[in-house]
Amino acid sequence: MSIPPSLPICGCFCLVFFYRCLSTMVGTYPLLSVQPMRGLVDEKIQVVVRNLPPALSVTLHSLHRSEDNDFWEAFGHYTSNDQGMVTVAKDASLGGTYEGAEPMGLLWSMQPVPGSRTGLSGHMTEGFSKQSPLATVVTERWYMAPGVCRIHIREHGVRGTLFLPPGPGPFPGVLDMWGGGGGLVEYRSCLLASHGFVSMALEYLSHDKNRTSDIESTTYFEKAFRIVQEHPLVMKDRVALFGLSLGASVALNLAAYSKDISPKCCVCISGSHVHRVNQAFSKVFRKMNKDGYKTRFDEEGRVVWRDFILPIPTDLGEKVDMGRIKCPLMLVVGEDDQNLATVESAKDMTQMMRAAGNEHLLTILQYPDAGHLIEMPYTPHFRASSFIVQQTGQKVMVLWGGYTKPHADAQEDFWEKSLSFLRQHLYPSPDSVPKAKL
C-alpha cells in the first residue's frame, strides 16, 4: 500500500463518474448529472442518472488521479427504478466499495485502483479502465473558495502558509497544526479560509531533521500564534487553536501553560494530554523512543503505537494540567484509534477537568470504529499507511485504525460540528457581545 495520497493543496481534484452497463442499450441516452459540478471538498454532491430503461443493472464509478499520479476509485451497484432513474442520495447501493443509501459513498469509499481484469456483468467490480462507460461527468472538488488568498509565511523563524478569506474583514483567526508526520500540510487551513477564518497552516516538524531545534520550547508556537493574531485582517481576541495528533497535544499545552498567548477556543483531534510538549519536544521524542518496547504489531505486521502513553500516568508532572484550561475545548476521538490512546486520554482529561471545576468548557465528540486520522469529510479512509519516523528516517507501515463507513461518518460529523463550534466562539452575533461594564 502506498503513502497516503497528498490531497491537492489549494486547487481542486477531478472526479470522473462513469456509468457502465454491459448490455447494448439503444435508442435512449442515459443522462448522468452531478451537482454541484464545482464544489468545496466538504460539500455534498447529488448524483442522478436518468433516461435508463427500468430495472437495469448499472455501476456508478468514480475515479480520481492524485497529484502523485495514483489512481483512486470507488463504485456502487444500482438498479434503475420504474422511471428509469438512479438517485444516489436515496437508492441503495447493492454492493461495491460501499453499500446502502450513501449520498457521498462514491467519494469516501475510494481506494487505490488494483490491477484490473475484465468484468463480465452489468455490476462490475474491476477492469473499469478497459470498459467504455455509457456516460461520464467530471466534478471538481475545491479546497479553495474563489477569492481566498494564499500567503507564504517566513517570519521570525516561523514557517507556514496563511490563507485569507475574501473581503475587508476583520476575521477570526486559526493556528492549524498537523501531527508527527511533519511537513507543511495546507489543505485544512485553505478550507477553513473558504469558511471565513484566517488560518495559518504551521510547519513545525520539517522533513529536514536539522530543524527540530527551533521547537524545543513553545516559543515557536507562540510566535506563530501572534503572527495570526497581529495580522491586520484578524480580530485579535478571536484566534483559535486547531490541532490533530501531535498538533492537538501542542494545542493543549499552549492553552494550559502559555503566559504569552490565549486562544479563544481549541479543537483537538486525536490528541493526548500525555505529551508534555511545553517541556521540550526533544524530551517528548526521547520518551517515545524509550517506550518503543510497547510497540505492537497487527496480524499483517503493521505498527500499533497506541500503547505508548498507557497507562495514563497519575503523576501530574507527566501530563498537561487540564484544570488550567480557560477556554472552550472540543476533543475529537476515534474509538478505534490504533496510533494513540486517545479514548483513555479523553476520559482522563474529563476527570481532571471535573475535579478542577472547568468541565463545562469541554465538548467531546467520540466516534465508534473511527481511527486516528480524522480528516476532511468525504476524503478516503485508509486503515494503515506508510510513515517515515521523524528521528530515524525509517519507513514503517503504521496502523491508524478505523473502518471505512464509520470513519467516513465521523469525518462528516466532526467537521460540521467543529465549524459550528468555531463559529459559535469566534463569530458571535452583535447582540450577544457583552456591553462594557465600567
Partner 1 sequence: TLSFVRAIITVVMTEKAASPMLLLHPSRGLIDEKFSLIVQNLSQIQDITLHALIHSDDGDYWEAFGHYVSDATGFVNVANDSSLGGTYDGVEPMGLLWSMRPVPGSRIGLRLRKKEVHTPMVVHISVYRGHMSQGFREQVALASVVTERWYMAPGVRRVDITEGGITGTLFLPPGPGPFPALLDLWGGGGGLVEYRSALLSSHGFVSLALEYMTPRTSGGSTSHVGNEYFEAAFTVLKQHPQVCGDSIAILGLSFGTSVALGMAVYSTVIQPRCLVCVSGSHVQPVKGSLSDVFGEINKNVRNTRYDEENRVIWRDLLLPIPTDPTKKVDVGQLKCPVLMIVGEDDQNWPATESAEDMKQMMEKAGNSHLLTTLSYPGAGHLIEPPYSPHIRASNFMVAETKQKLVVLWGGETAPHGHAQEDSWKKILSFLEEHLYRSTDVTSQSNL
53 vs 313, which CB is nearer to partner 1? 53
Q: By CB under 8 A, is residue 140 in contact with partner 1?
A: yes
How many residues contact partner 1, by CB under 8 A? 50
Residues 349, 362 contacting (CB under 8 angstroms): yes
Q: Which is nearer to partner 1, 394 or 433 (CB)?
A: 433
Q: Which of 92, 137, 310, 388 binds partner 1 (CB under 8 A)?
A: 137
Q: Of 428, 414, 259, which Cα lies nearest the Cα of 330?
A: 414
What character string, x for contact with partner 1 (CB under 8 A) and - otherwise, covers 154-173? ------------xxxxxx--
Nearer to partner 1, 63 or 177 (CB): 63
**Rounded alpha-carbon distances, angstroms, from residue 116 to 2, 64, 367, 393:** 17, 16, 34, 34
Binding mask 85-124 for partner 1 (x = CB under 8 A): ----------------------------------------
Rounded least distance, CB 9 to partner 1, Å: 18
Q: State the Cα–Cα distance between residues 199 and 207, nearest whole angstrom.
A: 22
Q: Which residue in 176, 336, 337, 348 is the catalytic one?
A: 337
Helical residues (DSSP H) of 166-312, grouped into ranges: 187-194, 219-229, 246-257, 281-290
- Grid cell 466532526 — which residue? 414
User: 45 to 74, contacts with partner 1 by CB under 8 A?
Assistant: 51
Q: Using CB under 8 A, which of 138, 151, 316, 356 touches partner 1?
A: 138
Part in contact with partner 1 (CB under 8 A); list of ranges 22-30, 348-356, 368-376, 407-415: 22-30
Looking at the chain, how many residues does it have?
438
Q: Residue 312 Cβ, how far from partner 1 at the closest point, in Å?
A: 36
- 259 Cβ contact list (under 8 Å, min separation 6): none
Judged by CB under 8 A, does residue 303 bind partner 1?
Answer: no
Q: How far is CA 306 from CA 292, 294, 345, in A?
A: 11, 9, 11
- 272 belongs to the catalytic site: no
Q: Which one of residues 53, 100, 313, 428 is an interface residue with partner 1 (CB under 8 A)?
A: 428
Of the pair 140, 298, the CB lying nearest partner 1 is at 140
C-alpha cell at 168: 475587508
DSSP β-ladder status, 46-50 and 86-87: antiparallel
Q: Which three cell numbers stand for residue 12?
A: 481542486
372 noted as active-site residue: yes
Q: In this chain, which of 9, 22, 113, 135 binds partner 1, going by CB under 8 A? A: 135
Report in angstroms how near the CB of residue 26 gets to partner 1 at its nearest: 5
Determine whether 23 is an active site residue: no
Catalytic residue among 62, 109, 199, 245: 245
Cβ distance to partner 1 smaller for residue 49 or 215: 49
* 136 near partner 1 (CB under 8 A): yes
**Under 8 Å between Cβ of 335 and 343:** yes
Residues 6+ apart with CB under 8 A from 156: 223, 227
292: CB partners within 8 A, 6+ apart: none
Each as own residue / partner, the long-range contacts of residues 91-97 (CB below 8 Å, 24 or more positions apart, any chain) are 93/60, 94/123, 95/123, 96/59, 96/123, 96/125, 97/73, 97/404
| CA separation, residue 98 to residues 367, 384, 413 (Å) | 19, 19, 18
Q: Which of 23, 69, 314, 429 binds partner 1 (CB under 8 A)?
A: 429
- 3-class secondary-structure state, position 413: helix
Site string for partner 1, 375-414 (x = CB under 8 A): ----------------------------------------
CB closer to partner 1 out of 9 and 134: 134
Interaction residues for partner 1, span 221-240 (CB under 8 A): 235-237
Residue among 231, 372, 407, 425 flagged as catalytic? 372
Candidates 156, 160, 147, 157; CA nearest to 199 is: 160
Tell me which stretch binds partner 1 (CB under 8 A): 152-160, 351-359, 386-394, 430-438. Answer: 430-438
Active site residues: 245, 337, 372
Binding site residues, partner 1, CB under 8 A: 14, 16, 26-29, 31-32, 36-40, 43, 51, 132-140, 142, 145-147, 166-171, 194, 196, 235-237, 427-431, 433-438
